[in-house]
A = this chain, B = another copy of it.
Amino acid sequence: MAQEELRKEETLAMRNRLIGQSCKLFYSEDPVKIVRARGQYLFDENGKRYLDCISNVQHVGHCHPAITKAAAAQMDVLNTNSRFLHDNIVLYADRLAATLPQKLCVFYFVNSGSEANDLALRLARQYTQHEDVVVLDHAYHGHLMSLIDISPYKFRKLAGQKEWVHVAPLPDTYRGIYREDHPNPGQAYADTVKDLIEDVHKKGRKISAFFAESLPSVGGQIILPQGYFPKVAEYVHSAGGVFVADEVQTGFGRVGHHFWAFQLQGDDFCPDIVTMGKPMGNGHPLACVATTAEIAGAFTANGVEYFNTFGGTPVSCAVGLAVLDVIVEEDLRGNAVRVGAHLKDLLTKLKARHEIIGDVRGVGLFLGIELVIDREKKTPATEAAAHVVKRLKEEDQICVSTDGPWENVLKFKPPMCFGMENAELVVQCIDRILTVTSLMTPHRLEVNTTSHNISLPPGKCSLPEDDILKFHTFIIQNK
C-alpha cells in the first residue's frame, strides 16, 4: 500500500459512507489521518509528528522492526491453525507461564481481549456451575454481548442490568465511598463485595465469578487500595466463585516493577483466571486466557471442543514471543519504572500549581490526572479535560485522551518506549494550557453539577480575545 492513496477529505467522505458510524474517530470534529508511525510517534499525511500518549496496544513501540521481522518470517513459512502440533504455541505458553504464579499454567489463545473475557466467563461458569457475576462499577470488559452484560459502562446505556449481574462500588480512594483518609480502604471496599455476595445468596443465587480489571481503566485509571484483591478473593472463594483478573489493558509490564498489575496486590495473591489482550501482539490480534489446571479440567470435562480459528496460530505466537523478547532486551519495564516515576513526579508538582488538578495517580506507564472544578467538592472538570485534550492535539501535536465516568481524567498509557523528554514535554504543555484555562476561568466558573454545563463568568481577563473565544466556542459546542 502507498502511504496515502486518497486525499484526506476523500478518506473522510468514504469513511462516513462505508464504515458504521458507531465506530467513532478520535477528534471527531477534526480527525487526524495517520499514515506512518514509529516508536512513540505518529505522522500525519503532511509529515506532521504527533507524540502518542495513549496507544497501549503498540506496547513496544509502533512498527518495531523486531516484531515485523518475526511476523513476516513466520508468515512466509507456516500459518495453520492450532489443531496441528507446532512449537510456537507451546514455547509461547511456556514463556507466559514463567511470568505468572505457578498455579496459572493452562492457556487458551484467542484473538482479542473480548474473546478472552467471553471465554473466561464460560470457564468460570463451567467450573463453578454457578451463574452470577460481580463486577466493579464503571467497568468495561469488551464489546461482545456477553461482556456488555458485565460492563456497567456499557449496559447502563444499552440493555440494562441483567438479574445475574451485581455491581460492586469502584474502589476509588479519590472520589469513591471510602477515600484516602479511611484507615483501611482495601478492607472496606472488599467488605462491600462481601455484602453484595450475601445479598446474592439471599436471593437464592450463586456467584460464578468476580470480574475486575487489575487497574480499572475506563473507570478512570484507578489504583486499587492495598489488600483489596486478596480479601475479595477470599470472599468470592467462600461463595464458590472464581476470581478473574482482566489484564487486557494493564499486563506485560506496563506497571513496571511487576509483569502483571494484579501483582501489585501482593506476592501471595493469585487470581484463578487471567485474561490478556491489547499489548500482547503489539497490534497483531492476539489475546489469551490463563487459568488453573482444575478450571481447565472442568472445561475439558464437558466434552465439547473449543476451537478458535485464528487463536494461537504460528504467526500469532511468533509475534507474541517477539514482544516478550523486546520487553526484556530493551528493558521496557525498567523504562516504565523510570519514566513513569518522573512523569508522576512532574505531574504531582503541577498539581501544587494548578487547583484544577484534583488527583495524580498511577504506577509505571499507567497514569491518570483527574481534573476537578473545585478540590473540595471534586466536581468533575469534564469540559476542561476535553479542552486540554484538544489543545494538546492542536497546539502541541500530543495525543492524550480522557477516561472515567465523567471523562475528566486525562490518561497516559503510551508505548513503553516513551522517554523522559516526552514526559517533560507533555507536562510543560499541560502546564501552559492549564495556566491559560485558569486565567480564563479563575475560580469563578459556575458549574451545574447535574449536566456539567459551564457558564463562563462575565468578568474580564487578561488573555487574548481569540483564546477566550476559542474556549467559549469549545464549551458551547460540547454542551
Whether A71 and B80, one on each chain, are in contact in the complex, defined by CB atoms closer than 8 angstroms, is: no
A:1-38 near B, CB below 8 Å: 1-6, 8, 11-12, 14-15, 17-26, 31-37
Interface segment among A112-120, A330-338, A367-375, A377-385: the answer is A112-120
- Chain B residues lying within 8 Å of A1, measured Cβ to Cβ, are 70, 73-74, 77, 87-88, 314, 318, 321
- Of the candidates B25, B70, B300, B309, the one whose C-beta lies within 8 Å of that of A85 is B25
Whether A63 and B83, one on each chain, are in contact in the complex, defined by CB atoms closer than 8 angstroms, is: no
Whether B90 and A115, one on each chain, are in contact in the complex, defined by CB atoms closer than 8 angstroms, is: no
> What is the total number of copies of this protein in its complex?
2
A77-B63, A145-B118 as given contacts; A87 in contact with B5, CB under 8 Å: yes
- Of the candidates B70, B74, B83, B91, the one whose C-beta lies within 8 Å of that of A25 is B83
Q: Mark A388-414, 1 if CB is under 8 A from B, else 0.
A: 000000000000000000000000000
A1-B87, A36-B77, A80-B55 as given contacts; A22 in contact with B63, CB under 8 Å: no
Most buried by B among A19, A72, A87, A93: A87
Whether B143 and A145, one on each chain, are in contact in the complex, defined by CB atoms closer than 8 angstroms, is: no
CA distance A108 to B111 in the complex (A): 16
- Chain B residues lying within 8 Å of A73, measured Cβ to Cβ, are 1
CA distance A109 to B5 in the complex (A): 20
- Chain B residues lying within 8 Å of A146, measured Cβ to Cβ, are 144-146
A interface, size bucket: 35 or more
Whether A80 and B58, one on each chain, are in contact in the complex, defined by CB atoms closer than 8 angstroms, is: yes
Interface check A444, CB cutoff 8 A: no
Interface segment among A193-201, A277-285, A420-428: the answer is A277-285
Interface check A163, CB cutoff 8 A: no
CA distance A297 to B22 in the complex (A): 9
- Chain B residues lying within 8 Å of A254, measured Cβ to Cβ, are none
Interface check A184, CB cutoff 8 A: no
Chain B residue at minimal CB-CB distance from A295: B20
Identify whether the interface residues of A are mostly helix, strand, loop, or mixed. Answer: mixed
Whether B83 and A304, one on each chain, are in contact in the complex, defined by CB atoms closer than 8 angstroms, is: no
Interface check A452, CB cutoff 8 A: no
Interface check A310, CB cutoff 8 A: yes
Interface check A447, CB cutoff 8 A: no
Whether A94 and B14, one on each chain, are in contact in the complex, defined by CB atoms closer than 8 angstroms, is: yes
A429 CB, nearest partner CB in chain B, Å: 20
Most buried by B among A8, A154, A304, A312: A304
A:36-70 near B, CB below 8 Å: 36-37, 42, 55, 57-58, 62-63, 65, 67-68, 70
A72-B72, A76-B68, A304-B154 as given contacts; A86 in contact with B19, CB under 8 Å: no
A126 CB, nearest partner CB in chain B, Å: 9
Whether B22 and A299, one on each chain, are in contact in the complex, defined by CB atoms closer than 8 angstroms, is: yes
CA distance A225 to B313 in the complex (A): 36
A286 CB, nearest partner CB in chain B, Å: 8
- Chain B residues lying within 8 Å of A77, measured Cβ to Cβ, are 1, 3, 35-37, 63
- Chain B residues lying within 8 Å of A277, measured Cβ to Cβ, are 309
Interface check A79, CB cutoff 8 A: yes
A74 CB, nearest partner CB in chain B, Å: 6
A20-B296, A111-B115 as given contacts; A65 in contact with B76, CB under 8 Å: yes
Interface check A260, CB cutoff 8 A: no
CA distance A65 to B4 in the complex (A): 23
- Of the candidates B2, B107, B316, the one whose C-beta lies within 8 Å of that of A20 is B107
A24-B307, A86-B11, A94-B18 as given contacts; A78 in contact with B106, CB under 8 Å: no
Whether A78 and B63, one on each chain, are in contact in the complex, defined by CB atoms closer than 8 angstroms, is: yes
Whether A285 and B283, one on each chain, are in contact in the complex, defined by CB atoms closer than 8 angstroms, is: no
Closest 8 A-B residue pairs measured CB to CB? A72-B72, A14-B90, A285-B285, A18-B93, A285-B310, A22-B306, A33-B85, A79-B283
List 22 interface pairs A-B (beta carbons < 8 Å), by A numbering: A1-B321, A2-B87, A14-B90, A18-B105, A20-B296, A22-B299, A22-B300, A22-B302, A23-B306, A26-B84, A34-B86, A35-B86, A55-B81, A62-B78, A63-B76, A63-B79, A72-B75, A113-B309, A114-B308, A157-B304, A158-B304, A285-B316
Residues of chain A touching chain B, judged by Cβ–Cβ distance below 8 Å, are 1-6, 8, 11-12, 14-15, 17-26, 31-37, 42, 55, 57-58, 62-63, 65, 67-68, 70-91, 93-94, 97, 105-109, 111-115, 118-119, 121-122, 143-146, 154, 157-158, 277-278, 283-285, 291, 296-297, 299-300, 302-310, 312-316, 318, 321
Interface contacts beyond A15-B90, A37-B77, A57-B81: sample of 5 additional A-B pairs, CB < 8 Å, sorted by A? A6-B90, A24-B305, A33-B85, A283-B313, A285-B285
